[in-house]
Structure 1
């Protein structure tokens, strides 16, 4: 079953300086380890990862925050990857958020749901789904750690000098909010985390003080983040429905909701699931912040409307708009916890196979068949292009421009990436 409800709607067309700039992708080399490309370590965090990075967690509780819209409970938790040596300067902060996926790793419920789907038992299917999308999870049932799914990307960015927080959003996934309210809720959650980090960075106080733990042992860890974060250089990245959330959070009309002292300088929507039936595009319009959107040609959850919607949202943007169409990428491989190699509950390959052509894939819209990327290959592409984007706009590193405009081809040995760019 497809996770994202699709609506019939006219396709929004790329306009202005964005139209017609379809180009091939460009190059960047990172000091990421094999784990960072998705080869293994993302399934079990290490506090002392290779590549000069460290990892800690924080968890303020499954019901530490409540949705402003409905009062439903949401966790305040995150996994943090950062340079092992924070040095004397300040580091840009990147906040990542996952999208809609099962919230509880209930294997029995998964088996019941699969059987119910096969037999057409709608009642049993709904009951099992309710267990998988509960929050908090039933006693003895672990939460599904979707926030860990971007460890490969966070470690690569941390190795390049960024502090990266991937926040949990299981409470939102289990909530009743949908459509624009869902995007707004995810934006609120990002701002909630940013507020905690702003307090910690400036004073060493607040809710995060003394809350960091080793991701493996659970032992308390002390990290000197105070005065080492540059909250004037914040990046946000959202996957799937959180792609809509970060677009909402960075929209011109919502900048006033950012915590005091926080300035979002780069927003990336990864395979974003937008509410294409929204009646108010101003809630998503970004003209003052650099904006990137990524989608795979074998995405089984999100269609081409992701690009069209993002282009409409970026109409009039003079800060930089970048569109990356990744040949052979699906939806789930961007998150290791949602991908088959993890062995996690509800993990799957969402690409549409091409009958009679093993190893080829397409999407539900019938895109041109192409070679299906492996999990490590797809994540390598994400590291390359998202890394270039954040370096360019958080570090003002103009050497990344050829990557972002398609003048060079960094992943040509793996796949093609079609680039559309409007640069400042």
Structure 2
């Protein structure tokens, strides 16, 4: 039974792996003291200089251009691309971002019907409305819910740093029947499919993406010279929610052979990852050869507190760099603008649990510790700060970001506290 409001998975009985905190490198834990931000430190020159100006294009090869390997169900091959306006003469690291589980079709009438059915307890009406909201492809005349556009704020920031950033759609997976580890595997396969297309485009200017870029606003064709300007040997991936599990699966040591030829993933970030915590084979998630970062908000109403210990367990033995960030007052949905109330999008909601008698305070469970809830812009600002630092460090070699990644410096201390645990390389 599909519900638009995801329920928290039972906690996996895992403790923080001692190996993560003691092996290979010194591990540090810091908590920001609000109002004690340290001035910016000088950083090394960026390996991919950019003027800061960016542009955006999109591509869409069709709602049935790809099929889930487990079931054959259809999925889209679509993405929005943010990139430096001047690609120059060199190659730019590629970052691929993937969204998690959410409704797939922006059907407002179905949303209203589902809300009414939920209030009245009419299960049949609820399921009928839910089927329309969680379909793929969507019914004629019903637009797809563009979850991939929910990270535009992050894509533009990273593009201004010199990265080529593509956020891809996964509505087909969200509407499919795959669950648990199979869901993570399907998302990993989708990422690899996009990486293969970008490898072909970068190497020879050919393949499925050639001549397929359009203007996001007008739909007019846009010609962009990505050929020989994307460094496929220097790739970062970021997944939110269920896609957090997907990128961990994709970057796992045991799945590296599935990466397309010529592609090397150098950094993986799991944002509020919704792992299958009942998995019996951690080898499918074990990352020891790739820098890895995991993030979770203390007011996340969708993903339980077991997410960070699970990520730590997956990083056991990682000597490349492992970083965990617990963001005080952050929920689950505000990381994606399309899932957040200010967007007025279908199925957008605030998933944080309010604290009775304490307006403005939130938690992740009824008996959990309270925190001042971050606004949508605040939460995205903090996420951008730490994701930017992570990718700059491991894709551009900017060691000046180590101060942020180890918790020695808290650039957003005036906004909120961020608990940082780091096993630096």
TM class by shorter chain equals over 0.9
Residues 246-395 of structure 1: pairs in structure 2 closer than 5 A: 246-364=247-365, 366-395=367-396
* Match of residue 220 from structure 1: 221
C-alpha distance in structure 1 between counterparts of 2:74 and 2:20, whole Å = 43
Count of equivalent residues: 405
Partner in structure 1 of residue 48 of structure 2: none
**Cα distance change, pair 168–372 in 1 and its aligned pair in 2 (3 A):** same
Match of 1:208 in 2: 209
Provide closer, same or farther for how the CA distance between residues 299 and 27 of structure 1 changes in structure 2, counting only shifts above 3 A: farther
**Counterpart secondary structure, 2:196:** helix
Unaligned runs of 5+ in 2: 41-50
Tell me whether 1:6 sits opposite 2:9 in the alignment.
Answer: yes
Taking the aligned partners of 1:9 and 1:386, their CA distance within structure 2 comes to 26
Kept in 1: contact 2:20–2:318 (CA 8 A)? no
Report the equivalent of 2:45. none
Task: Indicate conservation of the 8 Å contact 2:57/2:80, yes or no.
Answer: yes
TM-superposed CA distance for 1:7, in Å, is 2.6
Deviations 1:367-406 (A, max 9, x none): 3201100000000001100000000000111000000000
Q: Distance in 2 between matches of 1:8 and 1:243?
A: 17
Gap runs ≥5 in structure 1: 30-49
Q: Is the 8 A contact 1:297 1:367 kept in 2?
A: no
1:24 matched to 2:39? The reply is no
1:38 alignment partner in structure 2: none
Instruction: For 1:28 and 1:87, locate their aligned partners in 2 and report how far apart those are by CA, in whole Å.
Output: 32
Q: Distance in 1 between matches of 2:378 and 2:253?
A: 35
Shift of 1:17: 4.7
Distance 1:320 1:233 in 2: 16
CA contact (8 A) 2:114 2:130 kept: yes
Counterparts of residues 101-250 of structure 1 (less than 5 Å): 101-250=102-251
Tell me how far apart the structure 2 counterparts of residues 69 and 28 of structure 1 sit (CA, whole Å).
50
Contact 1:24 1:408 in 2 (8 A): no
CA deviations on 1:181-229 (whole Å, 9 max, x unpaired) are 0000000000000000000000000000000000000000000100001
Counterparts in 2 of 1:409 and 1:328: CA distance versus 1, 3 Å: same
Cα deviation for residue 52 of structure 1 reads 0.2
Q: Are 1:324 and 1:420, in contact at CA under 8 Å, matched by a contact in 2?
A: yes
- Asked whether the equivalents of residues 235 and 266 of structure 1 are also in contact (C-alpha less than 8 Å), the reply is yes
Give how far 1:321 is off: 0.2
C-alpha change, 1:320 and 1:365, in structure 2 (3 Å) is farther
Displacement of 1:294 after TM fit?
0.3
Structural RMSD (CA): 1.6
Query: What SS does structure 1 have at the residue aligned with 2:154?
Result: helix
Give, in angstroms, the shift of residue 65 of structure 1: 0.5
Partner of 1:84: 85
Structure 1 residue 409 displacement after superposition: 1.1
TM-score normalized with structure 1 length: 0.93
Work out the CA distance in 1 between the residues paired with 2:366 and 2:252: 29
For residues 358 and 392 of structure 1, the distance between their equivalents in structure 2, rounded to whole angstroms, comes to: 38
Counterpart in the other structure of 2:44: none
1:5 CA drift (Å): 5.0
Residue by residue, what CA displacement relative to the aligned partner does 1:251-280 show, whole Å, maximum 9, x if unpaired?
000000000000000000000000001111
Determine the C-alpha separation between the residues in 1 that align with 2:412 and 2:334: 17
Contact 1:28 1:384 in 2 (8 A): no
Residue in 2 that maps onto 1:418? 419
Following the alignment from structure 1 to structure 2, what is the Cα–Cα distance between the partners of residues 271 and 159? 24
User: Is the 1:15–1:311 contact (alpha carbons within 8 Å) kept by the matching residues of 2?
Assistant: no
Measured in 2, the distance between the counterparts of 1:256 and 1:77 equals 24
Alpha-carbon distance in 1 for matches of 2:266, 2:11: 33
Is the Cα–Cα contact under 8 Å of residues 27 and 402 in structure 1 kept in the other structure?
Answer: no
The 2-side partners of 1:17 and 1:189 are apart by 29
Deviations, residues 330-349 of structure 1 (Å, cap 9, x unaligned): 00000000000000000000
Q: Secondary structure at the match of 2:238?
A: strand
Residue 54 (1) aligns with residue 61 (2): no
Q: Distance in 1 between the 2:373 and 2:235 partners?
A: 33
CA distance in 2, matches of 1:337, 1:168: 13
SS at structure 2 position matched to 1:231: strand
In the alignment, the residues of structure 2 paired with residue 406 and residue 259 of structure 1 have an alpha-carbon distance, to the nearest angstrom, of: 35
Partner SS state of residue 345, structure 1: coil
SS at the partner of 1:80?
strand
Distance 2:20 2:178 in 1: 35
